[in-house]
Structure formats: C-alpha cells, structure tokens
Structure 1
Amino acid sequence: MNWEIEAPNVVTEARFRELVEDGYSAEILCQESAHKKGPSYYGVWIMRAVSDDGMEKLLVTARNTTSDIKIREFKTITGVVSFLVGIGFSHADVPLEEGQRTTHKLAAAIKGSSD
C-alpha cells in the first residue's frame, strides 16, 4: 500500500521523524486527562506533524497488513517524552488535560555541518 496515495494524512514513525527534521512541528494532543498511578502519570496522547501552512499528518503505528491503520497512542508521559527525545527534542511540554495541545519544533540544523 502506498500510504502517500491511499492514506495521505497519516505517517509512521520514520516518516514523522523526517517531517519534523524538515521543519514540521510535532503537535501533542491530550485525548484523556493525565492521572497519577504510582510514580507515573497515565493518560492518552496522540501526535501529528504539522507544516507551517497547516498540513497535518497523524502518527500511526507500523503494521503488518495493508488494511490495518491504527493511530499511535501514548499511554504514559514517559512514553511521550521518550518519543520526543528519540526524534531530537531536548525538552518536552506535555499537555495534561483532555483537549489540550502543545507544539514542538526542532531548532534549524545546518545539514552537512562537521563542527
């Protein structure tokens, strides 16, 4: 399945990372308010890559079949932070209440720099 044609508004993690590196913002949306359970906070967060002109690409899970497209949900704050750090962010602003959203944008990097 060619996702750019079949499902143009969704991307897997690898493409999400590329888009953010190319200047898209990473938008975190809180779908279920966070609550503390033991030492961690739990909730439901999803992410989108958003271009400067408003084009949105929803992060989905990688799949083994062509008909199974599922939104990637993060169930812990630790999961959200780990994902953001893994794609190059040095901080994380995570919304804690249902309906809230925050955006992150990587600092412009000079490609090919050897400094």
Structure 2
Amino acid sequence: MDLEKEAPNVVTEAGFRDLIESGYHVEVVCKEDASRKNSVWHGVWILRAVNDDGVEKQLVTARARRGGDYIKVRKFKTVTGLVSFLIDLGFTVIAFPVLEGQRWTFTLSQEEDGDSNS
C-alpha cells in the first residue's frame, strides 16, 4: 500500500524522520492526561510533522492489519517510549505536554542554539 497515495496526511516512521531532517517541526500532542504508576508516567501522545506552511503529517505504524484497517496512528503510552523516540530523532532537550489537549513543538534547528520552546 502506498500511504502517500492513500492518505497524504500520514507518514510512517522512516518518512517522518526524513521530514524532520528536511525542516519539518515535531508536534507532540497529549491525547490523555498523564499519570504516574509507580515510577513510570503513562498517558497517550501522538506525533505530527508540521512544516512552516502548516502542512501536517501524522505518524502512523507501518504494520498492515487484517480486515482493511491498514493505517493506525502511532501512540506512545509511556514517557519513556516518547522520550526514547524523540532522542532517536536527534533531539537532546526533551519536554512534553501532560494534560489532554496540550501540545509541544520541537525543531532540530533549536538544538543548535538552545532556544526554548512554546
């Protein structure tokens, strides 16, 4: 399945990395309030790649599902998973929203000059 033809507003992990390296921003969206269970923070976060013109591509899994459900939003359910993914993208300073509806934006260019985020 060619995701670019089927759903132009989504992208798999490999494409997501390419977009970030080409200047797209990473937007982390909190979909469920975070809560702590023992020493681990849980919640639901999704990621979008957004360019300066406002074009968004949502991160999806690459796995095909039976019954026609081929595209599934990639959800991060622990802070550890979210942080690990962002570090693997090249970010060295990590912050994230903890309340449903909050968003946080990252750009690789900020990493070079140490700017804070919105």
Distance in structure 2 (CA, Å) of the matches to 1:68 and 1:6 = 10
Aligned to 1:113: none
The reply on whether 1:9 has 2:20 as its aligned counterpart is: no
TM-score normalized by the length of structure 2: 0.87
- Of the three residues 103, 106, 113, the one matched with 2:105 is 103
TM-score normalized by the length of structure 1: 0.89
Aligned to 2:116: none
Distance in structure 2 (CA, Å) of the matches to 1:47 and 1:40 = 20
Distance in structure 2 (CA, Å) of the matches to 1:64 and 1:72 = 13
Aligned to 1:112: none
Question: Stretches of 4+ moved more than 6 A in 1?
Answer: none
Distance in structure 2 (CA, Å) of the matches to 1:3 and 1:72 = 14
Aligned to 2:86: 84
Percentage of identical aligned residues? 56
User: What is the CA-CA distance between 1:64 and the residue it aligns to?
Assistant: 3.3
Aligned to 1:94: 96
User: What is the CA-CA distance between 1:77 and the residue it aligns to?
Assistant: 0.6
- What are structure 1's unaligned runs of at least 5 residues? 109-115
> Helix, strand or coil for the counterpart of 2:108?
coil
